[in-house]
Amino acid sequence: MNETGNKYALAALKDKRATLAGEVAQLRNKLAWAESQLKHLDATICIFEPGLDPESIPNKRPKKRVKLFRQGELGRLILDALRTSDGPMRTQDIVSAILLAQGHEETARTALTPRVRANLQYLVNRAGAVSKIGGGGDARWALR
């Protein structure tokens, strides 16, 4: 590589390092704040239950939310698919309708199927908007 190429590569590497160092500093600040909050919370717990060791409380794994849809959007898409169908639909048919409606590629099916299944169950149990016909892999869903 010539002198000019090295100069541009070095500038890009320095820029990348500066960005990454800034992110690390921000994460350190966030960690320090969280540790401070944890100490205060532990002290408060000890006030209410002096014999309890706060370290004995198991950690919860933070949930990673994949934002494929806005709040309530998936439920509306499912209901739209069921409204436009001729009859009860299988989960995979609903997923296909959503993929088509949203313009997602077929590769999104594996991530979308469990979400649709869970949302359908919610629509049956809590909202009462959908009924489940059958069970297992042959289950079909319809509007009530």
Q: Can you read off the two tokens belonging to residue 60?
A: 């919860």
Are 85 and 137 contained in the same domain? Answer: yes
State the pLDDT at residue 66: 64
Contact by Cβ (8 Å): 91, 139: yes
pTM over 0.85: no
Chain position carrying tokens 């649709």: 116
pLDDT at 57: 94
* Domain, as residue range, for 111: 73-143
Are 50 and 87 members of one domain?
no
Residues 91 and 43 in one domain: no
Q: How far is CA 70 from CA 84, 112, 125, in A?
A: 22, 14, 21
pLDDT at residue 1 in the model: 56
67 lies in a domain?
Answer: no
Q: Same structural domain for residues 83 and 120? A: yes
| The pLDDT value given to residue 82 | 93
Clarify whether residues 109 and 137 are in a common domain: yes
pLDDT by residue for the chain (144 residues), tens only, comes to 567 778 888 999 999 999 999 999 999 999 999 999 999 999 999 999 999 999 999 999 887 766 778 888 999 999 999 999 989 999 999 999 999 998 888 888 888 999 999 999 999 887 788 989 888 778 899 998
47 lies in the same domain as 94? no
Residue 65 lies in a domain: no
Has residue 35 been placed in a domain? yes
In a domain, 61, yes or no: no
Under DSSP, is residue 69 helix (H, G, I), strand (E, B) or coil?
coil
List the structure tokens of 61: 């794994």
- H/E stretch holding 142 reads strand 140-143
Verify that 96 and 139 share a domain, yes or no.
yes
Beta bridge partners of 132: 141
